[in-house]
Amino acid sequence: MLEKLKTRARHLKTEANALYLAARDPRTPWYAKLMVAGVAAYALSPIDLIPDFIPVLGYLDDLILVPAGIALALRLIPAPILSECRAQAESATQRPGSRVAAALIFGMWLVLACACLIWAYEHYHA
């Protein structure tokens, strides 16, 4: 089951990347670009139709509206453009990650952790 979830998450990441690429493609119709922008804005917006603090219903709009918007956006993009963008997105996810970028991010986290430890030590032992 965990492997199935990982595969599904990878597929979702590829589809999101394909949507991004399709929205930037000049051959994509304006209404499809508008739909992609609307779905992205809603997904990233702190304002929801149903506030998240309402039990169960709060997350229901995210679980229904965002995937439905993605499905609609995928249908609005012409098939040749979408298949080309999916191929680009697939090749981008198969590339190995940058070791330099990983080292930089790890270094930033390490510096942040050290700064927090120093602050905590000085704060509580002063």
State pLDDT tens for residues 60-87.
777 788 888 888 998 999 999 999 999 9
Q: Domain residues for 46?
A: 2-95
pLDDT at 45: 74
Same domain, 123 and 67: no
Same domain, 41 and 72: yes
Same domain, 27 and 51: yes
Same domain, 56 and 110: no
pLDDT at 42: 80
pLDDT at 62: 73
Low-confidence ranges of the chain (pLDDT < 50): none
Tell me how crowded residue 82 is: count the other CB atoms within 10 A of its CB: 22
Same domain, 25 and 14: yes
Same domain, 86 and 123: no
Same domain, 30 and 45: yes
- CB-based contacts of 60: which residues, under 8 Å, 6+ apart? 50
| b/e code 15-43 from CB counts within 10 Å (16+ = b) | bbbbbebbbebeebeeebbebbeebbebe
Task: Read off the pTM.
Answer: 0.60
Same domain, 83 and 111: no
pLDDT at 92: 77
